[in-house]
Structure 1
Amino acid sequence: MTDLHTPYRRAIFSGPAVWVLHLLIPVAALWLLVARPEMDVRWQHHPAHFWLVLFTAAVSVALGVVVGDAARRRDDDRLFLIGLAFVVAAGFLGLHALATPGIILASSNTGFDVATPVGLLLASILAAVSSIEFSPAATRRLRRLRPAMWTAVAAVLTGWAALSLLEAPILARPLNAEIGQRLLVAAAFLGTALYGVSALRYYLIYRRRPAVMLISLITAFTLLAEAMFAIGYGRNWHASWWEWHVLMALAFAFVAYSAYVQYRREGSPAGLFHGVALASTVNRMRRDYADALDELARAMRQRAEFGDDGTLSNQISSIAGRFDLTEQQLDVLERAADALGRERTQTKRLGALVTVGQQASVNTDERQLLEKAMAVASETFAPLRLRLGLMTDGRLEFADGGVSLDPTEGATVVIPLDVKGHRAGQLEVTHPRRAVDDTELALLRSFASQLSIALENTRLYASMEDLFRSYLSPDVATSLIADPSQARLGGEIADVTVLMADLHGFTPFAERGEPDDVVAMLNTYYRVVVPVILEHGGTVVQFVGDAVMAIFNAPARQPDHPRRAARAALALQEAVERVRGAHPEWPRFRAGIHTGRALVGNIGSDEFRNYTAIGDTTNLAARLESAADPGQVVVSAATRGAIGDIATVEPVGPLPVKGKSEPVEAFVLRSLGS
């Protein structure tokens, strides 16, 4: 589409110098006529003067009405002042037309003769004021003054006409030639300056936000400035006098022609002068258009969902009236709203794909994954209807208990879900009113692919977790699956509580019994011991024959890890005693617990490694376990202090410990309160 400003830029602003040159031609012509009086020819033709001035007044008042209507629509003070300036100029020009002798009045008088410079001077004041960017407070004051200003204009025009027609002394007799000439020159210079300031200020506005009508106003104010200058130096009925009449006519006609061209382009007068409005009005219009765009986008989404074209038409008509939109603006907004609605829908649906891709995690259940994914998809892909079927024992089963739809009937599309090359299920898509389009189908295939990947990852996590849990503590297994980099050799210093337990008298028992019986005894014990430790949050890091080692506060952080370890040890003894009820000949467990700092991490080689805790804390726990009697739990002073008063303990007394220069204080843990 051709830029609306292009014809004017080419014709007028193709180069600033060219534009200025055109506007300086009338000034040069006036200078020549004043400097060479013999060239300032006289031509006195009353009908030509009457119709020229009357035409100019008619154009000016028409512009005043159109601009005033735009001011009312947008409640804009700048447009109000410009419209008022056109009306003031038109009123005084009409009075000046009456000064043409022999047309309506038998003879002219001073009141009608000077009406033009007076009207153009008043209009120049209004034009200069209109170029100001008003503050909100000034806007409110001016808004209150609008009725009074219209009343004042009507009163001045009516009074001027009445005084002139009644031949009042002040307006009926001719002015002294010398005084009159001085007044005209003063008015000419003042009007020229005000129109020049107006043109300059509107040019600065045009630089910030180009608009066709701004170009027209700049040109018109420049021509009116030249006309005011010509009024001061022109001679009645001579070429210099005719010049300012022609300049006035060109100024108003140029604005009118520009408005007509823009009206032909837009198909409505509603937005002709929007580009001239105050910055606050322009910003408000932009917000209105943004709101209109949002409303249209919502209306189009509703049509897409519910198929109600009648409601959409009514909403479009309502939006056009409420936001003062032309047909072309509305057409552009409709296309933009349609594009915006599609973009938002696509963005929302792409977001759903990302969400589904993020659903799979180590601890996610397959059914939960699918339920969450389908809930997200059903909402974001509406009004499409989605059904998910999964293969179970070679049969396709749907959550709603229904059967698969026939894709050859209606608008149903079937998209397979494949996991590792095998059919895992299928996604069925139906639109309630039409076929699924290509864009929707492409997104749905991506969604099905994401769902297949998420499903595959969830199943992989589950199988890996089942495998790992056979060899590792659940917390360690989960941590490694979620972040395999944690399997690297090394570790970190952390506060932990270490629980060590072994069977007292295991060696004699193993020597007396058969190997199969010994293994059966150990497996039976561990089947009850390990769940107890895990239940209390412990991490089983190793089995060494009849001994088991567990740590608390690693890898998962547990602020109450000493209490967890103590409860686990007591529960372990209770579980073992229940097992020994059927096997009283089996040896009993003894346990030791110590809390302190240790190096926690992976120890070993690249080929084989073990997650464990290394350091004095582990060694002391092992020494305390060796000092315990069968069925007892011995804790260190550090663990006793961390557990607090809820523990019932008996002092063991200072224990000599291998590797320690001084005996350590220890306690037998009897019970633990809540």
Structure 2
Amino acid sequence: MADGPGEGRPGARRRAAVGAVALTLPLVGLAVLRLSEQLDMQWQHDPTHFWMVLGAALLSALTAYGTGAAAVRRGDVRVMYVSLAFLSASGFLGLHALATPHMLLETASAGFNISTPVGIAIGSLFAVASVREVDAARAAAEMRRARILRVALLLLMVVWGVASLLRLGPFGAGPGLARDSPPMVVAGIVSVVLFGVAAVTYVRLWWQRGGLLPAAMASAMVLLAEAMVAIVMAPNWHYSWWGWHVLMLAAFVLVAWGAQQSWHEERYAALYTADTLAGRREMSILFADLKGFTTFSEGHDPSEVTDMLNAYFTVAIPAVVKRHGGTIDRLIGDAIMATFNRLGDQPDHARRAAQAGLDLQVETARIADQHPGWPRFRVGINSGEVLVSVLGSEGGRTHTVIGDAVNVASRIEGQAPVGRVAVTAETLALLPGATTEPLGALALKGKGEPVEAFVLVSLGGATS
């Protein structure tokens, strides 16, 4: 399932059909086992159960970590909810592993026994939440809520585990709530429906974008739904009961494999929301480079040039990123390109960028003062609407910003005085109270009309 949209439709349809048939086989096998008592034999092997379940939980946890890190880095709500779905499944499945007799406890507790269906049910809620398209206006607030949910989910799993180990209240000894009881059946039906909705959406995503990962996600949703069916129907330690363990393991292996097969740069890009893939933002863009860098490089050994750049970047980058929340888009030789409001969560992006530029000049000037003859930075800042987009394909891919506002920032930086910060009129309009010196109307390459620019002296009012 790797054809791009519009490519190889007959082949894609055949593979989709084959995949659909393959995904129905576990349910067929479960039905056959449940209809034949002779086939659905009992087999209890505690070490096999423990290591299979623990291994599946760890694999799911790694997927949750990878997707969670990507979601935070790109502010992508869909990938964040995918991460929470796998975190729920992995955490509660890990608790189920602890229910294996003769491991931590001689006999299992109710809390451990029912942890897996609870984890899958919670995961189905996050799975269906992940299918929505969320625009930039709502993404930042929803990401904050999702991160709170992640903390709450982790706390729930810790409390559940402690209560189960201590056998407190309903988490005490015994099998607990029967898997075929009405509450479990209802939870199973709801989970299957939610996973089904998620699977259909990821199939559509694959059909539109292509790529292996959306197809793997769709298949994993189906396998988790089937695992929930097996949990409700299968008696403990029978072959059909082992089946749902295998189904969950298969789901996690499939997604991990799909992610591994994706190009390492922007590995989860095929799952991004449309806004993350190509969304518009009002942003401020900062460029900085060293005046006279080429001449300096010509007269010095490459190791000396490297030491000089590292000395500068050691103080320049924290001034931009840690102090003022900028994102380093790229480093090109001696040049720094940084963006502000990339995730849509910095309405004061112009002030952040301006203060970052001033701080960068202060910090790097200290280094330059200690090394006479080293080139010094100049900084240019512009604000405006840009497109945040994933560019490239396998072999080279990046998440960057495109637009005239970016080009103007780069051109302004090229005409900024050494050791100073130049801003455009668009940026200055967002900096009430700032003190500036006129730089004049600059003729910039590629611009039909001169661009008014100013040298930023200081910012009035509170800073970021």
TM over 0.5: yes
The corresponding residue for 1:239 is 239
Alpha-carbon contact 2:107-2:173 (below 8 Å) kept: no
Please say if 1:277 is aligned against 2:277.
no
Q: Which has the higher mean CA deviation after the structures are superposed, 9-18 or 62-71?
A: 9-18
Paired with 2:243 and 2:10, the residues of 1 have a C-alpha distance of 26
- Return closer, same or farther for 1:207/1:319 CA change in 2, 3 Å cut-off: farther
| C-alpha distance after superposition, 1:21-75 (max 9, x if no partner) | 1011001001111122221111100100000100000000100111011111111
User: For residues 334 and 46 of structure 2, what CA distance do their matches in structure 1 show?
Assistant: 52
| Change over 3 Å in CA distance of 1:9–1:22 after alignment to 2 | farther
> Residue 130 and residue 316 in structure 1: after superposition, are their counterparts in 2 closer, same or farther (change >3 A)?
farther
Q: Does 1:315 align with 2:332?
A: yes
Please state if 1:36 is matched with 2:46. no
Deviations 1:148-173 (A, max 9, x none): 21221121011101111111121114
Give yes or no for contact 1:12–1:19 (8 Å, CA) kept in 2.
no
| C-alpha contact 1:271 1:326 (8 A) present in aligned 2 | no
| Whole-angstrom CA distance in 2 between matches of 1:318 and 1:4 | 36
Q: Distance in 1 between matches of 2:179 and 2:89?
A: 24
Q: Match of 1:77? A: 77
Q: Which residue pairs with 1:205 in the alignment?
A: 205
Partners of 1:77 and 1:139 within 8 A in 2? yes
Q: Which has the higher contact order (CA 8 A, sep 6+)?
A: 2
The answer for the alignment partner of 1:224 in structure 2 is 224
Once residues 17 and 390 of structure 2 are traced to their aligned partners in structure 1, the CA distance between those partners, rounded to angstroms, is 37
Is the Cα contact below 8 Å between 1:320 and 1:330 reproduced in 2?
A: no
Structure 1 residue runs without a partner (length 5+):
296-301, 334-378, 381-674
Q: CA deviation at 1:287?
A: 12
Q: 1:320 to 1:3 in 2, by over 3 A?
A: farther
Equivalent pair of 2:92/2:118 in contact (CA under 8 Å): yes
> Do the aligned partners of residues 316 and 188 (structure 1) sit closer, same or farther apart at CA in structure 2, a change above 3 Å counting?
farther
Letter in 2 for 1:144: R
Closer, same or farther in 2 for the Cα pair 1:314/1:65, shift >3 Å?
closer
| Residues in 1 aligned to 2:396 and 2:179: alpha-carbon distance in whole angstroms | 60
CA-to-partner distance for each residue in 1:478-506, whole Å, 9 max, x for gaps? xxxxxxxxxxxxxxxxxxxxxxxxxxxxx
Matches within 5 A, 1:226-305: 226-262=226-262, 266=263, 268=264, 270-284=265-279
TM-score normalised by length of structure 1: 0.42
Shift, 1:184, TM fit: 2.6
CA-to-partner distance for each residue in 1:185-241, whole Å, 9 max, x for gaps? Answer: 222211111111100111122222222211110111111111111111011100110
Superposition pairs of residues 491-570 of structure 1, within 5 angstroms:
none
Identity rate, percent = 31
TM superposition shift of 1:285: 9.6
Secondary structure of the equivalent of 2:278?
A: helix
The 2-side partners of 1:179 and 1:314 are apart by 56
Q: How do 1:572-611 residues align onto structure 2 when only pairs under 5 Å count?
A: none
Alignment match, 2:170: 170
Shift of 1:136: 4.2
Q: Aligned to 1:38, what secondary structure does the other structure show?
A: coil
Pairwise CA distance, 1:17: 2.1
> Any conservation in 1 of the 2:96–2:115 contact (CA below 8 Å)?
yes
CA contact (8 A) 1:56 1:248 kept: yes
Rounded to whole Å, the distance in 2 between the matches of 1:178 and 1:226 is 18
Per-residue displacement from partner, 1:532-577 (whole Å, max 9, x unpaired)? xxxxxxxxxxxxxxxxxxxxxxxxxxxxxxxxxxxxxxxxxxxxxx
Look up the SS of the partner of 2:332 in the other structure. helix
Q: Tell me which amino acid in the other structure corresponds to 2:252.
A: F
Report the residue type matching 1:242 in the other structure.
Answer: W
Quick check: 1:111–1:160 contact (8 Å CA) kept in 2?
yes
CA contact (8 A) 1:92 1:115 kept: yes
Maintained 8 Å contact 1:67/1:82? yes
Summarize deviations over 1:374-419 as a string: whole Å, max 9, x none.
Answer: xxxxx99xxxxxxxxxxxxxxxxxxxxxxxxxxxxxxxxxxxxxxx
Instruction: Name the amino acid aligned to 1:283.
Output: A
Contact 2:279 2:389 in 1 (8 A): no
Given that 1:184 and 1:231 are in contact with CA atoms closer than 8 Å, whether structure 2 keeps it comes out as no
| Aligned 8 A contact 1:185 1:233 in 2 | no
- Mapping of residues 357-368 of structure 1, within 5 Å: none
> What is the identity, as a one-letter code, of the residue corresponding to 2:227?
A
Q: Could you tell me whether the CA contact under 8 Å between 1:88 and 1:153 is conserved in 2?
A: yes
Aligned equivalent of 1:117: 117
Asked whether the equivalents of residues 117 and 231 of structure 1 are also in contact (C-alpha less than 8 Å), the reply is: yes
**Structural mapping, 1:42-81, within 5 Å:** 42-81=42-81
Distance 1:70 1:285, change over 3 A: farther
Alignment of 1:448-527 (within 5 A): none
For residues 641-671 of structure 1, what are the alpha-carbon distances to aligned partners after superposition, in whole Å with 9 as ceiling and x for unaligned?
A: xxxxxxxxxxxxxxxxxxxxxxxxxxxxxxx
TM score, norm. by length of structure 2: 0.60
Name the CA shift for 1:143/1:125 in 2 (closer, same or farther; >3 Å).
Answer: same
Give the letter for the 1:155 counterpart: L
Question: What residue is the counterpart of 2:88 in the other structure?
Answer: 88
How far the C-alpha of 1:258 sits from its partner, in A, is: 1.6
Say whether the 8 Å CA contact 2:3–2:211 is kept in structure 1.
Answer: no
> 1 CA distance for matches of 2:96 and 2:86?
15
Is the 2:53–2:97 Cα contact (8 Å) retained in structure 1?
Answer: yes
- What one-letter code is carried by the residue in structure 1 that aligns with 2:271? V
C-alpha contact 1:213 1:272 (8 A) present in aligned 2: no
Letter in 1 for 2:332: Q
CA drift at 1:174: 3.1
Task: Name the residue aligned to 1:103.
Answer: 103
Look up the equivalent residue of 2:195 and give its one-letter code.
Answer: Y
Deviation at 1:13, TM superposition (A): 5.8
Q: Is the 8 A contact 2:110 2:171 kept in 1?
A: yes
CA distance in 2, matches of 1:195, 1:100: 27
SS of equivalent residue, structure 1 residue 39 = coil
In the alignment, the residues of structure 2 paired with residue 199 and residue 167 of structure 1 have an alpha-carbon distance, to the nearest angstrom, of: 37
Shift of 1:10: 11
Mapped partners of 1:317, 1:13: distance in 2: 50
Whether the 8 Å contact between 1:191 and 1:225 is mirrored in structure 2 is yes
CA 314–109 in structure 1, closer or farther in 2 if over 3 Å, else same: closer
CA distance in 2, matches of 1:13, 1:51: 37
